[in-house]
Chain A
Amino acid sequence: MANIMIRRSEEGRYIFYLPKRDLEDTIVSIQFDSAEKWGGEIRLANGGCYYIEPQPAPARFPCTLRAKRLDAPE
């Protein structure tokens, strides 16, 4: 589990930031993306995959969350 920060880019896409690894990347897909259920498996542009416990969508971005690494390139 690692602390990650998710924010919105100017184009409205989600940006994933993992401070420990200086990893900043666009999120290409997110499993649940609605107001009441948000999170699940997220896929990054670099091919990495992380899991956020599904939860109500954060009220505002950026926000810090806990995420589990499922599969990351390296």
Chain B
Amino acid sequence: MSTLTREQAEALIAEVLEVYPEKAAKDRRKHLAVNDRSIEQSKKCIAANRKSLPGVMTIRGCAYAGSKGVVWGPIKDMIHISHGPVGCGQYSRAGRRNYYIGTTGIDTFVEINFTSDFQERDIVFGGDKKLAKIIEEIEMLFPLNKGITVQSECPIGLIGDDIEAVARKASAQIGKPVVPVRCEGFRGVSQSLGHHIANDSIRDWIFERNAQDVKEPYEPGPYDIAIIGDYNIGGDAWSSRILLEEMGLRVVAQWSGDGTLSELEYTPKVKLNVLHCYRSMNYISRHMEEKFGIPWVEYNFFGPTKIAESLRKIASFFDSRIQENAERVIEKYKPMVDAVIAKYKPRLQGKKVMLYVGGLRPRHVIGAYEDLGMEVIGTGYEFAHNDDYDRTIKEMQDATLLYDDITGYEFEEFVKRIRPDLIGSGIKEKYIFQKMGIPFRQMHSWDYSGPYHGYDGFAIFARDMDMTLNNPCWSKMTPPWLKKEESLTAAKAA
């Protein structure tokens, strides 16, 4: 299928919307757009961060998912209590593949589910006593934890438990930070508010405490930076970190993939915050800029073109030595990147991709696909705000599709009509599209592969895309009894 023209794309959207009742169609119309690069402000073409329509299939998460699953969860030396019924924590346990180093259950706790397992009794009489007891027990069983966070699930907000009071008391008792996070799932329209709440809780409970306490010695240096918004999925933060370190920068903190509490505490002393996932951590970056005067810069480590661009941009904040190093790093990896492109570009050239992910990937991975000669013809976010779309419009070609919080039905219809060569989305979409005969990669968890960040990640990315797209199974989609006569006789003759 060739690329759509603007008129065809508009017609496609109109056609897909036809099945909805009038009111729903009117609402959904605002979330679907055809990209126009001349538009400066995405507000004019697409609505974002609005409540999903009741009755449609949305794949959004909740505020708890944003806080526990994304921002706080990967902090490895703290224990994150899923405060409420057992399901929220258990079913989301270790699903994001935030890699980390440490001995799980001794000094690191990412993959373990801690929950207060609310019962009817706790709803009726309140769960504060239980929470205090849990913190006490955790302290006894896991003495090497560096702190505790209380991630509220829906009932906590509904019954009005005072987790802040419990946290303050417990914190004084155990002498470690205990952070209450008011990320009840019903807050906001998607996980996005959970990110914000989690950012605010770091600001209010870690930085504030930090200011009062004397910390273990840490000598700030002139080249200190913090990686913000990299969750180390499949090792992403590690493959980013080595590039920054090769440039001569000192990575003091990783927020929050493979991160620790001390790293969070050291961050206010760094010279620059480099921000990968703008959506989930711009809040704290802006706060640190205002409070501590730390500039922040967005970067993109998907695909060599964007990596080179980003390395230069980061280096521009430092002296000429770092800038020269940046050039040297780019030069050093050039032969490797050229080899990857020479190998995979001929196999992937011209293939069309549709994306539907969250956070930063719907725009960040476009460059990586383009480096491989592929074309992204549709992209969309689960939970973006308009500032994300402002940034996306420039990355996408004209007359491509943009879809915000797309429903299951709309996504399927778009795919049926456009027939892209590859879809990048999450586990919930994977099997629908594979059964439709379209190659699919999970772009949330890298389909259990990774890392995809950095130059090393790009090689893996290219290999994975090739492996998926050129898999021989896609030629076996028609069963033998439905094959045309000629092809059968031809096969017999041969």
Residues of A within 8 A of B (CB): 5, 7, 17, 19, 21-24, 45-46, 60, 62-64, 74
| Distance, CA A21 to CA B386, complexed state (A) | 8
Q: In angstroms, how far is the closest chain A Cβ from the Cβ of B61? A: 19
| Distance, CA A9 to CA B80, complexed state (A) | 38
Q: In angstroms, how far is the closest chain B Cβ from the Cβ of A61? A: 8
| Distance, CA A24 to CA B293, complexed state (A) | 19
Chain B residues whose CB sits within 8 angstroms of the CB of A62 once the complex forms: 286, 289-290
**13 A–B pairs (Cβ distance < 8 Å), ordered by A:** A5-B286, A5-B290, A17-B286, A19-B283, A22-B49, A22-B385, A24-B387, A24-B390, A46-B41, A60-B293, A62-B286, A62-B289, A64-B290
CB interface residues, B 287-302, toward A, < 8 Å: 289-290, 293
Interface size on B, residues (CB 8 A): 13
- By CB atoms of chain B within 10 A, which of A22, A24, A63 has the most? A22
Q: Is B43 at the interface (CB under 8 A from chain A)?
A: yes
Q: In angstroms, how far is the closest chain A Cβ from the Cβ of B283? A: 8
| Distance, CA A17 to CA B41, complexed state (A) | 14
CB interface residues, B 268-295, toward A, < 8 Å: 283, 286, 289-290, 293
- A22 touches which of B289, B290, B293, B387 (Cβ 8 Å): B387
Chain A residues whose CB sits within 8 angstroms of the CB of B289 once the complex forms: 7, 62
| Distance, CA A62 to CA B295, complexed state (A) | 10
Q: In angstroms, how far is the closest chain B Cβ from the Cβ of A30? A: 19
Mask, B36-51, CB within 8 Å of A = 1, is 0000110100000100
> Which 3 residue pairs across A and B have the least CB separation, nearest first?
A22-B385, A22-B387, A62-B290
CB interface residues, B 385-415, toward A, < 8 Å: 385-387, 390
| Distance, CA A7 to CA B289, complexed state (A) | 9
| Distance, CA A38 to CA B385, complexed state (A) | 31
Q: In angstroms, how far is the closest chain A Cβ from the Cβ of B376? A: 23
Given A17-B286, A62-B286, A64-B290, A22-B41 contact (CB < 8 Å): no
Chain B residues whose CB sits within 8 angstroms of the CB of A22 once the complex forms: 49, 385-387
Mask, B372-385, CB within 8 Å of A = 1, is 00000000000001
Chain B residues whose CB sits within 8 angstroms of the CB of A23 once the complex forms: 386-387
| Distance, CA A74 to CA B293, complexed state (A) | 33
| Distance, CA A5 to CA B289, complexed state (A) | 11
Chain A residues whose CB sits within 8 angstroms of the CB of B40 once the complex forms: 45-46
Chain A residues whose CB sits within 8 angstroms of the CB of B293 once the complex forms: 60
Nearest CB in chain A to that of B316: its residue: A10
| Distance, CA A46 to CA B386, complexed state (A) | 14
- By CB atoms of chain A within 10 A, which of B290, B386, B387 has the most? B290
| Distance, CA A45 to CA B390, complexed state (A) | 14
Chain A residues whose CB sits within 8 angstroms of the CB of B387 once the complex forms: 22-24
| Distance, CA A29 to CA B269, complexed state (A) | 34
Chain A residues whose CB sits within 8 angstroms of the CB of B290 once the complex forms: 5, 7, 62-64
Q: In angstroms, how far is the closest chain A Cβ from the Cβ of B158? A: 25
Q: A7-B290, A23-B387 known; 5 other A-B pairs, CB under 8 Å?
A: A19-B286, A45-B40, A46-B41, A60-B293, A62-B289
Chain A residues whose CB sits within 8 angstroms of the CB of B41 once the complex forms: 46
Chain B residues whose CB sits within 8 angstroms of the CB of A7 once the complex forms: 289-290
| Distance, CA A17 to CA B296, complexed state (A) | 15
